[in-house]
Amino acid sequence: MAWRQQAVCRRSACGRRDHERATVDQAMPNVTRNTRQRSEVLALLREVEGFHTAQQLHQMLLARNARVGLTTVYRTLQLLVDAGDIDSTRLPGGEQLYRRCGQSKHHHHLVCRDCGRTVEVAGPAVERWADQVAAQHGFTDVGHTLEIFGTCAQCSR
Amino acid sequence: MAWRQQAVCRRSACGRRDHERATVDQAMPNVTRNTRQRSEVLALLREVEGFHTAQQLHQMLLARNARVGLTTVYRTLQLLVDAGDIDSTRLPGGEQLYRRCGQSKHHHHLVCRDCGRTVEVAGPAVERWADQVAAQHGFTDVGHTLEIFGTCAQCSR
DNA sequence: TTAAGTGCAAACTCTTTGCATGCGT
DNA sequence: ACGCATGCAAAGAGTTTGCACTTAA
């Protein structure tokens, strides 16, 4: 069984450019062409809060009458992850989550199991600890995932 | 899209009983019946080191002429996870990993992206930090995942 | 005896890919 | 016009489920 080569929780460069110019013809970084579909995805990512799956984002696009194929959503998100422009993480359920960088700093997430509400939490100490532990064991090219799950106040009542 | 209800990284009770008696008829905890198949899975888990996917474990069982269905492997592993007798975690690739508890303490994992080599690391400070952060935000029933990925010394040369 | 356990096949979910068509540049 | 981008459909991977058969207790 192949262990997939995959960068995990890359420390996002997140060159967040002028987020004010939320026009459709905003350029997509590191990509040759700017199409309507990509602009739609970018526009959506700029508006939504927290993490969403590719499927969720696709549904939202359809709901706002933005005709974009699911395949394109996946492909665009992958491009953005590769470019370091969005964060991606994975739910214990196995679903991949994507999110626009809201902060230039690296951070982790506190996610409600029921409603998906996400709180961003910074854990600089954890970062250092993780890198240090990995280095101690001779590991290089280190990344990590840290997600905290629970039931938020709203959902638990 | 439903957010799956799933306990994450449960603090394992891991009542590790006499691991010496690696006989086939060893009892499975919290389960009514002890079948040949379950004994085979348990015996295998006692012998292998580190994390393996359900599929990998199934292949190993077949290799040792233990006729066990993949379905049964999945079901047995799930039972063991529910019973707290094995750890499970999820690879960024989305594959579920299962492992016999090697320590009674809660711990996390440093995994090589290339060869899958796993080093167990304890992070008591991280535990406390995670629980505390979640509590501060009103979250209950808190669990977390923390995996560190990198390229191990062997694979990087 | 009888209910839990098994295993095959099929269903399911999420994701990726092949390929003909569409559309920036 | 050229070639990347799109999107449908189909393939894949991993996991779960329905259901008839088997078997431990």
A89-123: per-residue pLDDT in tens? 776 667 788 877 654 456 677 877 666 677 878 77
pLDDT the model gives residue A92:
65
Q: Which CATH class, in words, describes the domain spanning B103-156? A: alpha beta
B97 to B4, B55, B56, B84: CA distances (angstroms): 18, 10, 9, 14
More confident residue, B117 or B46: B46
B1 contacts in chain A (CB < 8 Å): 53, 55-56, 59
The predicted-structure confidence for A23-39, as pLDDT tens digits, reads as follows 334 455 555 688 999 99
d(Cα B135, Cα A152) in Å, to the nearest integer? 9
CA of B153 to C1' of C18 (A): 39
Q: What is the mean pLDDT of residues A49-59?
A: 88
Task: Look at A144 and B143 and tell me if their CB atoms are within 8 Å.
Answer: no
Contact A110 B137 (CB under 8 A): yes
Report which of residues A156 and B23 the model is more confident about.
A156
Q: Which residues of B are less than 8 Å from A3 in CB distance?
A: 91, 93, 112-116
pLDDT of residue A84: 79
Q: How far: B71 CA to C1 C1' (Å)?
A: 27
Is the torsion defined by CA of A127, A128, A133, A134 positive or negative?
A: positive
For A109, A137, B50, B97, B145, the CA distances from A133, given in Å and listed in that order, are 21, 7, 18, 21, 16
- Comparing B54 with B15, the larger pLDDT belongs to B54
Q: What is the pLDDT of residue B23?
A: 36
**Mean pLDDT throughout B26-51?**
80
Instruction: Tell me the sheet residues that pair with B118.
Output: B111
Q: Say which nucleotide is closest to residue B76, CA to C1' distance.
A: C5
- What confidence category does residue B143 fall into, taking pLDDT thresholds of 50, 70 and 90? confident
Is the C-beta atom of A34 closer than 7 angstroms to strand C? yes
Q: Do B93 and A6 touch (CB under 8 A)?
A: yes
Nearest CA in chain B to A93: B4
How many interface pairs between A and B have CB atoms less than 8 angstroms apart? 156
Say whether pLDDT at A13 is over 50: no
The whole-number average pLDDT for the span A136-151 is: 81
Q: How far is the CA of B82 from the C1' of C12 (A)?
A: 23
Quick one: closest CA in A to B10, which residue? A149
Buried b (16+ CB within 10 A) or exposed e, A20-32: eeeeeebebeeee
Which nucleotides of strand D lie under 7 Å from a protein CB?
Answer: 4-9, 14-18, 23-25
Q: Do B113 and A3 touch (CB under 8 A)?
A: yes
Q: Is the distance between the Cβ of A70 and the closest atom of strand C smaller than 7 Å?
A: yes
**Tens digit of each residue's pLDDT (9 = 90 or more) over B104-135:** 456 677 877 666 677 878 777 888 888 888 89
Tokens of B133: 């952060």
pLDDT at B31: 56
Percentage above 90 pLDDT, chain A: 24
> Considering chain B, what is the average pLDDT of its residues?
74
* Residue pair B93/B81 in contact by the 8 Å Cβ criterion: no
Mean residue pLDDT across chain A:
74
Using alpha carbons only, give the angle A118, B81, A6 rounded to the nearest 5 degrees: 55
Check the annotation: does A115 bind a ligand. yes
The minimum CA-CA distance between B27 and chain A, rounded to whole Å, is 30
Do the chains contact at A8 and B149, CB–CB below 8 Å? yes
CATH number corresponding to B30-102: 1.10.10.10
User: Per the CB < 8 Å rule, is B6 touching A152?
Assistant: no
**3-state DSSP assignment of residue A133:** helix
End-to-end CA distance of chain B: 43
pTM comes to 0.68
- Structure confidence at residue B105 (pLDDT): 52
Q: Where do the structural domains in chain B lie, given as residue ranges?
A: 30-102, 103-156
Among residues B122, B125, B115, B123, which one has the least CA distance to residue B149? Answer: B115
B32 sits within 7 Å of strand C by its CB:
yes
